[in-house]
Amino acid sequence: MPAASLASSSAQAAAQSFDVRPFAEKVGAEIVGLDLSKPLNDADFARVHQAHLDYHVVVFRDQQITPQQQIDFSRRFGVLQIHVLKQFLLANHPEILIVSNIVENGQPVGLGDAGKYWHSDLSYKELPSLGSMLYAQELPSEGGDTLFADMHRAWDTLPEHLRKAVEGRSAVHNYTARYSEGHNAASWRPTLTPEQLAQVVEVTHPIVRTHPENGRKALFVSEGFTTRIVGLPEDESRALLQEIYDHSVRPEHIYRHHWQANDMVFWDNRSLIHLAAGCPAHLRRKLHRTTIQGDAPF
């Protein structure tokens, strides 16, 4: 839908009655009673936007939406980013990445090992992701949880010696850092073409970033994509990063999402890192992801 049409429909949309219910973990909230198949008026959208900023991850319950409706809602927050693995994009909807462990006719239908390491989506880009929306299509009967770690809280509680070690420093992020590692990696991770490699050249970002909307500082490194700290010897960089990783994912920083049918989860990649906990290989799991472009970290 063109941007002008979206703006017009949102201005005319009827108000909806919904609740924002924070989780006990102090990160995350569920939004109940909102129907994302209908355009949101500006006031309702503002409530959702504020909840996303306040709680960093929001769970929209009981959604029945089409791929295009997911795309249209995602675009309310910004430009959408297209994943480099084009073979796993939804047909006729390249804005949607299929995240799935399903194999049909010997070929994976989606990216089956997405999120196996803690990471912030697309931190390996010059303009990393603002946020991602993941919409459940098929869920396993056991497993399949997604964990989110609050990187604002990780920074706020970082020991003083680690603060001094990382303040003002930058780190390198690279999509291919762990691209082929792990069980069944070859089946989920096709060899990248020269054109694809050109889209994921390594970038450098500050280790401590300032959120452009809430003004809070957050750690911005992860085991999935961060390869080294600029200006430090390799062994010293590796040891320091490991200390930060260990601190970031302490239990008190984490919300664990147990998926329910028709959940759509929207998280802030500027505030959180996340991890897919995995599920038994024989149980089908499929979700649709849209990713919203953010700003250059500062």
Domains of the chain, CATH where assigned: 3-293 (3.60.130.10)
Cβ–Cβ under 8 Å, residues 246 and 222: no
- Nearest C-alpha neighbor of 21 from the set 70, 74, 57: 57
pLDDT string in tens for the chain (298-residue length): 445 445 555 667 899 999 999 998 889 999 999 999 999 999 999 999 999 999 999 999 999 999 999 999 999 999 999 999 998 999 999 999 999 999 998 889 999 877 889 999 999 999 999 999 999 999 999 999 999 999 999 999 999 999 999 999 999 999 987 776 544 444 567 778 888 888 888 999 999 999 999 999 999 999 999 999 999 999 999 999 999 999 999 999 999 999 999 999 999 999 999 999 999 989 999 999 999 999 999 9
* Catalytic residue list: 119, 121, 274, 289
Distances (CA, A) of 167 to 160, 204, 210, 217, 278: 10, 15, 12, 11, 34
pTM of the model: 0.91
d(CA 21, CA 153) in angstroms, rounded, equals: 20
- Nearest C-alpha neighbor of 205 from the set 82, 120, 114, 115: 120
